[in-house]
Amino acid sequence: MTNAVLRSLTVRDFALVDVLDIELAGGLTVITGESGAGKSILLGALGLVTGDRAAADTVRPGAARADVTAEFDLEQHPAARDLLDEQALTDPENPARCLVRRVVGADGRSRAYINGSPVTLQVLRSLCEDLIDIHGQHENQRLVLPRVQLELLDDFGTDPALRREVRDSFRAWQRAAEEAETLAEDIARRDDRARLLDYQLEELDSLGLRPGELEAIEAEHKRLSQANDLRATVADCLEALEEDTVLGRVLRRLDGLDDDHERLVSALTVLRSVDDLVTDAVHDLRGYDESLELDPERLAELEDRLSAIHELARKHRIAPEQLEAHTEALRAELDALSTDRSALERLRATAQSESARYREQAAALSKQRRRAAGSFAKAVSRCMETLGIKGGALSVAFADTESEAGLETVEFHVRTNPKYPAGPLQRIASGGEQARIGLAIQVVAAEKSAMPCLVLDEADVGVGGTTADVVGRLLRSLARHTQVLCVTHAPQVAALGHHHLRVRKDDAQDTLIDALARDSRVEELARMLAGADITEKSRDYARTLLDEAVE
């Protein structure tokens, strides 16, 4: 069995507790005490440290905070040790030890720690749910979980190797199906992109834009659109140059001077050169004027072409001069797209094969479960009868589903009265009956299932005498497989404990817990038997109960 053991519980300023340090051991530990002594406080502290909701009234009046620490021995619980390793919470000095701590402030806010490291409540609960199981009179937390019920049934009567095969084939099926779906979505996206690229390239190609065409069109359009203005300006300039200019008059007057001074000669030479240049300029301007043709049809044609180019550029959200490079980029992207469907077909074939394998294996597992369900239900029903639930019976209800656990979920249904139909455990049974039914289930399951430390709050409520003795012996038998802590008012149950804790209040009304040796146990059992009027006869009966508590 892979079981954890609760080794100690330390409580500070919790409810009515000032300080409690409790050492615990394997086997059956019974917890007794007078009503109101605070036995429920122990269960509350355990619930808090393992993840129950915290509240401000948890804190002892006048204290700043409540502090509860539990120490577990995980030597025989590899799954819990693996979880600690995954979360980097292992105690390097003692990997098998796990210290779980919860601190609640006076404002109701709480913090959780595992081996000294702060953790979330989710991490705390995920660790503790398989370490300790607290059964109050009105709650049966772990046993009502469908996952746990299926595990108990499987441990009782199915092949572990087959369960692993079902789990592995289901995961392989789901993995291949998910990969195929992802690839199919990727191929669909590629196909959609390829269709878009085809359309865009067809549109760009239909434009037929040639290299350098845009620059040439813009230059020609600029000239044609300005032709009227250019010709008017050139005409004005030619008229001005062709008139009798100042330069002409100056040359004529200087030519009339009879002087060969070098400065005058040089000035005349320059002026004649300027006159020649003006003549050349007039000639060039006439040629330019003749080149400026007015062509409204060509201008309209260029404007239409430019409009088409700019419109397509706007559609693609790029500058017109980028159209050529953009076209080549789209063409390269289209060429790079691959829609090879062979990998998809292989994945789909793998998923189909794994699905068939899963269903074949799961069907075999279902047969084992349904065979085991009858034997399991009969064994639990017999145990329920033994525990005083006359006419009580358990049955296993199956519901179809598909998961890594197989083709069904299960739910334990119970009947506590032959006159009424069976129903789920938490809805049908009373608080005391739930505790005893839970005990019956655990006793039957314990020999083959890994059980957490069981904390039972008055599993013997509503029974007495012979039935109480049966409950106690079942608890003692159960404690051979897992640690059991039981709060009880029945002396027959208390006498069967391997260890005995007594809860009491001191003069200051603080709750205390004492570990009892044999003589103290005799006194406590005598009190439970006779109340305040303890007699030697009640002590003798207490000794008899202790002597009869044998394996």
Residues 29 and 120 reside in one and the same domain: yes
Phi-psi region of 38 (alpha: psi -120 to 50; beta: other; left: phi over 0): left
499: CATH: 3.40.50.300
**Of 155, 189, 171, 229, which is closest to residue 451 (Cα–Cα)?**
155
Note the Cα 469 to chain centre separation in Å: 47
Question: In this structure, are residues 79 and 127 in contact, taking their beta carbons and an 8 Å threshold?
Answer: no
Q: Could you give the CA distance from residue 390 to residue 381 in angstroms, rounded to a whole number?
A: 10
Residues 209 and 114 reside in one and the same domain: no
The per-residue pLDDT for range 217-246, each reduced to its tens digit, is: 888 787 777 776 777 787 778 777 777 577
Q: Could you give the CA distance from residue 494 to residue 529 in angstroms, rounded to a whole number?
A: 11
Number of independent structural domains in the chain: 2
Of 336, 351, 386, the residue at which a domain comes to its end is 336
Residues 217 and 82 reside in one and the same domain: no
Say if residue 101 is exposed, middle or buried (CB neighbours under 10 Å; 0-12, 13-18, 19+). Answer: buried
H helix intervals, 387-464: 425-428, 431-446
Residues 206 and 327 reside in one and the same domain: yes
pLDDT recorded at residue 175: 95
Pairing mode, strands 28-33 and 5-14:
unpaired
pLDDT recorded at residue 352: 94
Question: Which value, to the nearest 10 degrees, does the dihedral of the CA atoms of residues 128, 131, 136, 138 take?
Answer: 60
DSSP 3-state of 209: coil
Other Cβ atoms less than 10 A from the Cβ of 2: the count is 15
In a domain, residue 385? The reply is no
Tokens of 500: 């005995």
In a domain, residue 205? The reply is yes
Residues 325 and 196 reside in one and the same domain: yes
H helix intervals, 337-430: 342-386, 425-428
Of 304, 336, 368, the residue at which a domain comes to its end is 336
pLDDT recorded at residue 138: 44
Q: How far is CA 207 from CA 197, 210, 300, 338, in A?
A: 15, 9, 17, 27
Domain that holds residue 222: 190-336
Residues 229 and 104 reside in one and the same domain: no
Residues 124 and 35 reside in one and the same domain: yes
In a domain, residue 184? The reply is no
In a domain, residue 73? The reply is yes
Residues 110 and 198 reside in one and the same domain: no
Residues 103 and 214 reside in one and the same domain: no
Of 336, 369, 394, the residue at which a domain comes to its end is 336
Residues 232 and 103 reside in one and the same domain: no
User: Which residues of the chain register pLDDT less than 50?
Assistant: 1, 137-138
Half-sphere exposure of 428 (CA within 13 A, CB side): 22
In a domain, residue 163? The reply is no
Residues 196 and 330 reside in one and the same domain: yes
In a domain, residue 355? The reply is no
Residues 215 and 306 reside in one and the same domain: yes
In a domain, residue 151? The reply is no
CA end-to-end distance (rounded Å), the chain:
20
In a domain, residue 51? The reply is yes
Question: In this structure, are residues 91 and 101 in contact, taking their beta carbons and an 8 Å threshold?
Answer: no
